[in-house]
């Protein structure tokens, strides 16, 4: 099992990590500026949420995403996204390999 360090927090790269419930999803208005944050569904809009957090998320939001969604989904979103900037992608690609 590999471990990654992100701002002093150990993030395990193992897909069997127990996932949190979606209830504590970050709903910061500046993260979801183009929609009502109350209407964002973590299951239906997973790709949208992951893209926003990869690009604009705080440390807390990144930890929530990392512990909530399967790492394979995060990696898939990253590889197919047209929203995540080219300067941001190498960091996340290194963390999700």
State the Cα–Cα distance between residues 66 and 31, nearest whole angstrom: 17
| CA–CA distance, 24 with 35 (Å, rounded to integer) | 18
Q: What does each C-alpha distance from 97 to 19, 28, 76 come to in angstroms?
A: 19, 28, 11
Look at residue 71 and tell me if it is in a domain.
Answer: yes
The pLDDT profile of the chain, 97 residues, written as one tens digit per residue, is 455 555 555 555 444 334 455 657 888 999 999 999 989 999 999 999 999 999 999 999 999 999 999 999 999 999 999 999 999 999 999 988 8
Q: Is 57 exposed, middle or buried (0-12, 13-18, 19+ CB in 10 A)?
A: buried
pTM of the model: 0.76
Query: Is 82 among the domain residues?
Result: yes
Residue 84 domain flag:
yes
Asked, for residue 8, whether it belongs to a domain, the answer is no
The residue segments making up the domain with residue 32 are 25-96
* Total structural domains within the chain: 1
- 38 within a domain of the structure (yes/no): yes
């Amino acid at each position: 099992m590999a471990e990654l360090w992100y701002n002093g927090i150990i993030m395990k790269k193992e897909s069997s990590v127990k996932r949190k419930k979606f209830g504590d999803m970050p709903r910061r208005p500046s993260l979801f500026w183009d929609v009502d944050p109350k209407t964002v569904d973590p299951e239906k809009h997973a790709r949208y949420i992951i893209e926003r957090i990869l690009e604009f998320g705080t440390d807390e939001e990144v930890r929530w995403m990392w512990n909530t969604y399967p790492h394979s989904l995060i990696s898939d979103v990253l590889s197919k996204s047209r929203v995540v900037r080219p300067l941001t992608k190498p960091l996340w690609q290194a963390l999700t390999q």
